[in-house]
Amino acid sequence: MNTPWLYPLWIAHRGAGKLAPENTLASFRLGLQHGFRAYECDLKLSRDGQAFLLHDDTLERTSSGQGSPADQDWAALSRLDAGAWHSPPFTAEPLARLEQIAAFCQANGCAINIEIKPCPGEETRTGTVVAREAARLWAGALPPLMSSFKPEALAAARDAAPELPRGLLLDKLWEGWFEAAEALGVVAVITNYWLMDKALIERLHARGWRALVYTVNDAAIAERLIADGIDGIITDAVDQLGPA
């Protein structure tokens, strides 16, 4: 491992998106209350190219909207309720734009892992715009770690903002993943936790890459990974694991 690693070990998933509505500023505030100083969140584009936080390809589960956000302008998306679905105290919480997250993180000394989560067919456009915006919004600050399951999106991010660190997300060790990570110029590989063991951590470290996992909500699993040398743990369980 030759690159310095300035990111905290513990990373709150989707903001801190179990106890508060995922991917909203409310979830970031909740993570801060539990002592977290690093977040993962999911980024998409509206039809008119605004970068905002949403996990699913459709709006129904986590907002009052319907259909694909890729078919709607930010003016309409900004009026949606992204909190009531979670619980009454979060009613009227809006969708969050990337620039609000940049302001929050920099005001509170927090690091971020921006997962580029394009709607289908939007991989290159989303990677390009989100990386360009992230480079602008975090200029002079600890840079966001840009990640994606989609190599096309990460390649677009690399081309738009080569200076931002990148991590390839893996939900399985598909044929050619190592070579793809090489070609993308990653600094980290982020896997589903059940794929990660000591041998893989050592293989990644030997290549000079960091090893991160999602989504660990069990103390015994976290302890095993820490003993094996893991560099980052993405968790939902901000009230049970990690900082306080």
Pairing between β-strand 111-116 and β-strand 38-45 as defined by DSSP bridges: parallel
Identify which of residues 100 and 192 has a Cβ nearer to Mg ion in the complex.
192
Nearest distance in Å: CB 103, ligand G3P: 22
205 given a catalytic annotation:
no
Per CB under 6 A, does 42 bind ligand G3P? Answer: yes
Identify which of residues 40 and 122 has a Cβ nearer to ligand G3P in the complex.
40
55 given a catalytic annotation:
yes
Nearest distance in Å: CB 151, ligand G3P: 15
Nearest distance in Å: CB 69, ligand G3P: 15
Size of the site for ligand G3P (CB under 6 A): 10
Positions of E strands within the chain: 10-12, 38-45, 51-53, 111-116, 145-148, 166-170, 188-192, 210-214, 232-235
Per CB under 6 A, does 123 bind ligand G3P? Answer: no
Q: Which residue is nearest to ligand G3P (CB)?
A: 214
Q: Which residues contact 182 (CB under 8 A, 6 or more apart)?
A: none
Given the rule CB under 5 A, which residues bind Mg ion? 42, 115
Cβ proximity of 234 and 38 under 8 Å: no
Cβ proximity of 98 and 137 under 8 Å: yes
User: HSE on the CB side for 155, CA within 13 Å?
Assistant: 9
**Which residues in 58-87 contact ligand G3P (CB under 6 A)?**
none
Nearest distance in Å: CB 98, Mg ion: 14
How many angstroms separate the CA atoms of 164 and 219, rounded?
31
How many angstroms separate the CA atoms of 3 and 156, rounded?
23
Of 115, 122, 123, 133, which lies in the binding site for ligand G3P, with binding defined by CB under 6 A?
A: 115
Q: How many angstroms separate the Cα of 226 from the Cα of each of 11, 159, 198, 201, 236?
A: 14, 33, 10, 11, 17
Nearest to 144 by CA among 131, 153, 158: 131
Of 234, 237, 238, 241, which lies in the binding site for ligand G3P, with binding defined by CB under 6 A?
A: 234
**Which residues in 168-197 contact ligand G3P (CB under 6 A)?**
169, 190
Of 21, 158, 214, 238, which lies in the binding site for ligand G3P, with binding defined by CB under 6 A?
A: 214
Taking CB within 5 to 8 Å according to partner kind, which of Mg ion, ligand G3P, none is near residue 169? ligand G3P
User: What radius of gyration, in Å, describes the C-alpha atoms of the chain?
Assistant: 17
* Binding region for ligand G3P (CB under 6 A): 13, 40, 42, 55, 115, 147, 169, 190, 214, 234
Catalytic residues: 13, 55
